[in-house]
Amino acid sequence: MSGAAVAQREIPGRGVGLVAARDIDAGETVVAEHALLVGVSEEFRRVCCASCLAHGAATPCSGCGEVVLCDTCRDPASPWHHGAGHGAVVCAAERVASAWRPPLSAPDRERLRFLGACAELRRAHVVNGDARARARLDAVLRLCPDVGPAGEGIDPREASAAERVRPALEAAVQATIATTEANTAGGGLLRAIAGDAIENAALLAKETKNAFGVMAATRGGDGSHPNDGSDDDRRVRGGAVYELASRVNHACFPNVARFDNFDGVLSSPSHEFYVPHRDGPNPPGPTELRLVAIDKIPAGCEVLMSYLPVSESCARRRRRLRNTFGFGCECERCVIECAWATEDGAATGDEGAYRDASRRAREARDEAAELEADAIADALDRECDEKEEVANQSLDAAELTRRADRIPPTYALWFVRNMCPVDGCGGTLAPPHARADHMTCNYCGERRSDEEFFRRLDAGAG
């Protein structure tokens, strides 16, 4: 790599994004960074490491007993010791949460975990003078959405959630002050570490818009997957927030693919990433993320990733982008697919029932309405999958040919070239380095040689 590959820039109508600062080759790593913060999901807190989200060998935390930690994160000599997710305040928050009455809902417990990790960064700064911890928190606060001094720009759902978990957060902070630091500053230290209401609501809003969902388990190199054929494929083990990668805007046809290292795939032979900028034998850290160029990206062009698996249906993609990220996608692919859906009388992701529930939840500012809207979204997802399956089964050969004929060639080629061929994977293929003669799936690690790709393409055309 010669010089920084990307620069941050204001993109009209889309906030700050990343653009190529020079011509980027296919296979180049354009961003490589560690997570600012990670948080394990409620569903996976006894399975995946609370500090780095690694799946597998994990021991209950000796401090709280509520979450598990991997061997690396438990080892005080490791550079990843209590890495990005399980410091003293989070550990105390787990103890507080387990005894809290009435019990916190699962989403609120995850929010408490995230705000606890933010409070831990404040604590490291205020108590230990750790400027890097404060810089990490500030990096999270710089992410979208922009928030005004009185909390303008924060979704009311986040504001009410921050209010709900605040007592538990303060109890957790109080516990760490009592056990590890003399409370010399009276209530001042508690406030300095727990943060004010607007900052915490802003942090929740930023987490919602910017955290990457880390999927349940990466498939093995042989394509095997413990979750094959079930809903588990959509289960999320946790979330991770990044300084640069969280800036990247969405496209349903992305030009970069995200490779995680939560299961050590960046060091696995199937990926064969070149790491010329790395000194010595240190393996990439557990929360390291890389954005790899799928194609050449000319200087000045925006770097775009897909926030969702590229295999998801048009209706589901659009609903999720609107609900979670707050925008309606008008990319080339959505325009084409929406036209087909309308023609077929299928859903396009703008279902009224869901929109109403979502608006009610915002207005009601209560958790029951919020959970109801989430349940409707899940039901729509399932319905959408079933309808699609039935529709696909009912198509006869003539209709399939008619459909194939109306697909623009560049559109079809994108899927053939970039969608993982492993059944049900939904991952994206990218060349793992600029000189690679193969593509690697960013989710299951499947390798496909360029030779094989051209062979299949010839077979398909002939």
Contact residues: Zn ion, CB under 5 A: 49, 51-52, 54, 61, 63-64, 70, 73, 91, 252, 329, 331, 334, 420, 422, 425, 427, 441, 443-444, 446
Q: Give φ, ψ of 36 to 5 degrees.
A: -70, -40
Q: How far is the C-alpha of 152 from the C-alpha of 202, rounded, in Å?
A: 9
Please name the amino acid found at residue 203.
Answer: L
237 in Cβ contact with 53 (< 8 Å)? yes
The minimum distance between CB 37 and Zn ion, in angstroms, equals 14
Q: How far is the C-alpha of 249 from the C-alpha of 303, rounded, in Å?
A: 7
Q: Which residue, 51 or 174, has its beta carbon nearer to Zn ion?
A: 51
The runs of H, that is alpha helices, within 47-195 are: 71-74, 88-99, 106-128, 131-142, 156-180, 187-194
Q: Which residue, 37 or 201, has its beta carbon nearer to Zn ion?
A: 37
The minimum distance between CB 55 and Zn ion, in angstroms, equals 10
The minimum distance between CB 251 and Zn ion, in angstroms, equals 6
Consecutive H or E run containing 260: strand 256-260
Please tell me whether the peptide bond between 102 and the residue prior to it is cis, using omega within 30 degrees of 0.
yes
Q: Which residue, 202 or 310, has its beta carbon nearer to Zn ion?
A: 310
Q: Which residue, 41 or 51, has its beta carbon nearer to Zn ion?
A: 51
The minimum distance between CB 432 and Zn ion, in angstroms, equals 13
52 in Cβ contact with 239 (< 8 Å)? no
The minimum distance between CB 308 and Zn ion, in angstroms, equals 9
209 in Cβ contact with 145 (< 8 Å)? yes
Q: Which residue, 14 or 402, has its beta carbon nearer to Zn ion?
A: 14
Q: How far is the C-alpha of 141 from the C-alpha of 144, rounded, in Å?
A: 8
For 18, half-sphere exposure in the C-beta direction (CA atoms, 13 angstrom radius) is 27
The minimum distance between CB 393 and Zn ion, in angstroms, equals 24
Which tokens belong to 202?
A: 């802003």
- At a CB cut-off of 8 Å and minimum separation 6, what does 12 contact? none
The minimum distance between CB 51 and Zn ion, in angstroms, equals 4
Q: How far is the C-alpha of 388 from the C-alpha of 400, rounded, in Å?
A: 14
Angle at CA 246, nearest 5°, toward 262 and 320? Answer: 90
Residue with tokens 């957060």: 169
Residue with tokens 């040919």: 401
Q: Which residue, 49 or 266, has its beta carbon nearer to Zn ion?
A: 49
Q: Which residue, 294 or 422, has its beta carbon nearer to Zn ion?
A: 422
The minimum distance between CB 261 and Zn ion, in angstroms, equals 12
Q: Which residues on neighbouring strands pair with residue 31, listed in sequence order? A: 291
Q: Which residue, 202 or 217, has its beta carbon nearer to Zn ion?
A: 217
Q: How far is the C-alpha of 193 from the C-alpha of 183, rounded, in Å?
A: 12
Q: Which residue, 173 or 420, has its beta carbon nearer to Zn ion?
A: 420
Which tokens belong to 163?
A: 């209010």
The minimum distance between CB 53 and Zn ion, in angstroms, equals 7
Q: Which residue, 160 or 270, has its beta carbon nearer to Zn ion?
A: 270
Burial 395-413 (b: 16+ CB within 10 A, else e): eeeeeeeeeeeeeeeeeee
Q: How far is the C-alpha of 362 from the C-alpha of 382, rounded, in Å?
A: 24
The minimum distance between CB 63 and Zn ion, in angstroms, equals 4
The minimum distance between CB 163 and Zn ion, in angstroms, equals 25
Q: Give φ, ψ of 258 to 5 degrees.
A: -95, 125
Q: Which residue, 177 or 425, has its beta carbon nearer to Zn ion?
A: 425
